């Protein structure tokens, strides 16, 4: 560690993302990317772009993109904020709504980045254990200074129904409740976007990385009442006035305009998930009931299975933490990739 590091930087424990091997030949089921390419409209939009305009700064508020997102949901455009990945939107939200608070509730098993932002923005967390069956107990989330949870949750894949989300929002009306819907497009439950016009303390955060096949483009957004959107804009303008480049804005708008393609690819992934879960169960590896684009697969010898898959150039995710170390998180690939994965598991 450099002697020049600030005390703040020394104290941080950064998030560790899944491996991104840069050489070909891997079956990559470790970072919940979409196995299908983005909508053909994305290439079309980027090819059509006036490259001469890249000498100018882009629209710092991504208005055209926000309008397109608003049309897709649908919701008024003043309820939408876009930035450079949902990770960035989440960071702005932690800074804007949780900084300095003492009792920000979040599940013990959830997205590993939440405690990192809490540390970064000096938010005290109240880590809420999942129940024995790995579900969130909505009644426990009461009187918080802030709530952050993923729905469906990661890495469990388990989703809460909208009435349970509403319970949490109602029990915490004096603080902001953030629902991270990175995986909602693969779920059968209703989105919390449907509650945004009713509750002034609800912020829903989403990404183009998973259901729009654009993890490499880095685009995320938030949906909330205009006073919360103002709060995010305030944080953005204290950090980076132009978080989304011109090409990313155009490409993301093109992707979300192609509803038919989005619907087809997400249905295919849901179908692959159901088939894979069934076949893994037959092999003696049951999964938690997932509503995301991955399965959290129970395996007594999870680490050994992880290593075996790795030897066969199949990447999945494993955490050597209590309550997680008897599972592997497996992203849904193409049917062909899942065949290769299943035959490797069978061999093991
Ligand atoms: C993937 C993921 C994100 C990050 O998405 P990006 O937009 O790619 O930064 C956020 N939250 C959860 C729960 C995720 O799984």
| Span 160-215, pLDDT tens digits | 999 999 999 999 999 999 999 999 999 999 999 999 999 999 999 999 999 999 99
How far is ligand 1, taken at its centre, from the CA of residue 18, in Å? 12
Residue identified by tokens 């999942």 is 130
Whole-number pLDDT of residue 24:
92
Whole-angstrom distance, CA of residue 152 vs CA of residue 240: 30
Whole-number pLDDT of residue 90:
98
CB contact at 8 A, 321 and 334: no
Whole-number pLDDT of residue 107:
98
Token pair listed for 14: 């950064």
Q: Which residues line ligand 1 (CB under 6 A)?
A: 32, 85-87, 111, 150, 154, 180, 182, 207, 209, 215, 220
| Span 116-128, pLDDT tens digits | 999 999 999 999 9
DSSP letters for 243-256? -S-HHHHHHHHHHH
Query: pTM value?
Result: 0.98
- Residues with pLDDT less than 70, the chain: none
Token pair listed for 113: 């980045």
Whole-angstrom distance, CA of residue 160 vs CA of residue 138: 9
Whole-number pLDDT of residue 5:
97
Whole-number pLDDT of residue 310:
97
Whole-number pLDDT of residue 105:
98
CB contact at 8 A, 64 and 249: yes
How far is ligand 1, taken at its centre, from the CA of residue 182, in Å? 6
Residue identified by tokens 């899942």 is 338
Number of C-alpha atoms within 13 angstroms, CB side, residue 98?
Answer: 30
Whole-number pLDDT of residue 311:
97
**CB contact burial 135-167 (16+ within 10 A = b; e otherwise):** bbebeebeebbbbbbbbbbbbbbbbbeeebbbb
Pocket residue to mutate for ligand 1, from 20, 34, 81, 86, most atoms within 8 A of Cβ? 86
| Span 240-259, pLDDT tens digits | 999 999 999 999 999 999 99
Beta pairing, strands 146-150 & 327-331: unpaired
- CB 191: neighbour CB atoms within 10 A? 19
CB contact at 8 A, 148 and 114: yes
CB contact at 8 A, 155 and 183: no
What distance lies between CA 263 and its chain's CA centroid? 18
User: Of 90, 119, 124, which is closest to residue 11 (Cα–Cα)?
Assistant: 119
Whole-number pLDDT of residue 177:
98
């Amino acid at each position: 560690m450099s002697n020049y590091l600030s005390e703040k930087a020394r104290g941080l424990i950064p998030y560790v993302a899944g491996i991104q091997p840069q050489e070909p030949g891997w079956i990559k089921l470790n970072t919940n990317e979409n196995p299908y390419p983005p909508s053909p409209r994305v290439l079309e939009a980027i090819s059509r772009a006036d490259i001469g305009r890249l000498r100018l700064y882009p629209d710092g508020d991504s208005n055209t993109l926000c309008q397109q997102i608003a049309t897709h949901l649908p919701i008024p455009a003043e309820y939408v904020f876009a930035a450079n990945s949902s990770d960035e939107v989440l960071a702005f939200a932690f800074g804007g709504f949780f900084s300095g608070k003492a009792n920000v509730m979040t599940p013990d098993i959830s997205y590993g980045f939440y405690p990192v932002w809490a540390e970064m923005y000096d938010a005290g967390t109240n880590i809420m254990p999942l129940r024995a069956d790995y579900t969130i107990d909505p009644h426990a989330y009461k009187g918080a200074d802030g709530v952050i949870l993923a729905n469906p949750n990661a890495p469990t894949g388990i989703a809460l129904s909208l009435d349970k989300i509403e319970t949490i929002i109602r029990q915490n009306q004096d603080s902001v409740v953030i629902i991270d819907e990175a995986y909602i497009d693969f779920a059968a439950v209703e989105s919390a976007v449907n509650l945004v016009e009713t509750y002034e303390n609800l912020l829903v955060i989403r990404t183009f990385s998973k259901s729009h096949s654009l993890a490499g483009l880095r685009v995320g957004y938030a949906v909330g009442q205009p006073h919360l959107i103002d709060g995010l804009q305030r944080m953005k303008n204290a950090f980076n006035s132009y978080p989304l480049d011109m090409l990313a804005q155009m490409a993301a708008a093109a992707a979300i305009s192609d509803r038919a393609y989005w619907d087809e690819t997400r249905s295919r992934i849901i179908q692959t998930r159901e088939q894979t879960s069934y076949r893994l169960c037959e092999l003696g590896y049951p999964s938690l009931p997932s509503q995301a684009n991955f399965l959290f697969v129970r395996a007594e010898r999870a680490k050994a299975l992880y290593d075996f898959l790795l030897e066969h150039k199949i990447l999945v995710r494993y955490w050597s933490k209590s309550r997680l170390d008897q599972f592997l998180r497996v992203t849904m690939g193409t049917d062909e990739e899942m065949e290769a994965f299943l035959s490797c598991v069978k061999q093991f």
